[in-house]
Amino acid sequence: MTISRISPTDLADARPPEPDARSRNWRQLFARRFGGFWVLAAMVVVFSIVIPDIFLTPLTLQTTLGDSAITGLLALGVMLPLVAGIFDLSIAQVAGFAMVFASWLQERHAMGTVEIFVITLSASALFGVVSALLVTKLSVNSLVATLGVSTVALGVTEIIANGNAIQPDFDPSFVEFGRGVIGNIPLPFIYVLLIASVTYYVLEYTTLGRRLQATGCNPVAARLAGINTQRLQVLVLLISSIMAAFAGLVLATKVGVATDSTAGAFLFPAVAALFLGATQIKDGPNPWGTVLGVIILAVGMKGLQLMGVSPGVGNFFSGAVLLIAVAISGRGLERLH
């Protein structure tokens, strides 16, 4: 029998990390997960110095939060399927369909607020059903399936609009739903916070949330553990389409004029905020990280807008944020899938 000798060097290597190393690792983790707060604070300071008269005002705060609400609703809508391992590219066009369809219902049929809500949400959910059938029953890649559904949603929207801008005369209660303010906080942004809170609770404290995360991390292992992964994927795609419709209803009240091209522009900022949020607070897509990403983008874009820079600079900012966020969150998202 051979007895191996353990050298003092081996013993030294086996020791737990020194306190300084542990402290350094903790600081690095803290900086990575909460660095977005420092970035947000830095932007606020810079814009406050450069344009103090117009940036540090209640009106700017209100418009910034209001402008970010649609992006926030869509980003949270994309986030939930991503937790379950699905990427939904249809969400912006489904929102566009909901905006145009609700406006058309009001213009042509003068329906009440509740009727418009129920019919629009139900019709929009059909896009989620189609996506779910393609992904779960036909095993189509979620990117391809939802991209196809997005194109179909755009086509239906164009047919309804018929090349025209629809200007509905919504009921005052419907308008208040999208333009109301509590204190200095727009109601649509409060919706974002409420949905983020509910989503956080479901993901962190319920069996459903744990099953969704297990499905996203390793669907094969989740199925072997007895989790009905297909049912969960159907559920998140339905929720995603309904959230998109909700965002479209809010957008309809905010813009006042519905066109078939309005909502498509929100997909890129929503995805950028989602990936930026996946680097914050905890690894992978999470609701509060997503909200932080939305606010960072909104503050950056509002500050650049108030400075009078060209739209190209704003697009450059959004693109740079997305690329940096994807680079940072790459490992975390790989582990998620």
* Tens-level pLDDT at each residue, the chain (337 residues): 455 555 555 544 555 555 555 555 555 555 567 778 888 898 999 999 999 889 989 999 999 999 899 999 999 999 999 999 999 999 999 999 999 999 999 988 888 889 999 999 999 999 999 999 999 999 999 999 999 999 999 999 999 998 889 988 888 888 888 999 998 899 999 999 999 999 999 999 999 999 999 999 999 999 999 999 999 999 999 999 999 999 999 999 988 888 888 888 899 899 989 988 888 888 889 999 999 999 999 999 999 889 988 777 777 887 787 777 767 655 544 544 4
Q: Which residues of 213-223 are buried (b: 16+ CB within 10 A; e: fewer)?
A: bbbbbbbeebe
| pLDDT value for 265 | 87
Per-residue model confidence (pLDDT) at position 336:
43
- What is the Cα–Cα distance from 204 to 141, expressed in whole angstroms? 27
Identify which of 65, 59, 58 has the alpha carbon closest to the alpha carbon of residue 254.
65
Residue 186: strand pairing partners: 181
The domain segmentation of the chain, as residue ranges, is 50-336
CATH 1.10.3470 for the 50-336 domain, yes or no: yes
Q: Please state the pTM of the whole predicted model.
A: 0.87
CB 157, CB 93: distance < 8 Å = yes
State the pLDDT at residue 333.
Answer: 47
Distance CA(221)–CA(271), nearest Å, equals 28
Q: What is the pLDDT of residue 224?
A: 92
Question: How many whole angstroms separate alpha carbon 246 and alpha carbon 120?
Answer: 9
Closest alpha carbon to 76 in 182, 188, 153: 188
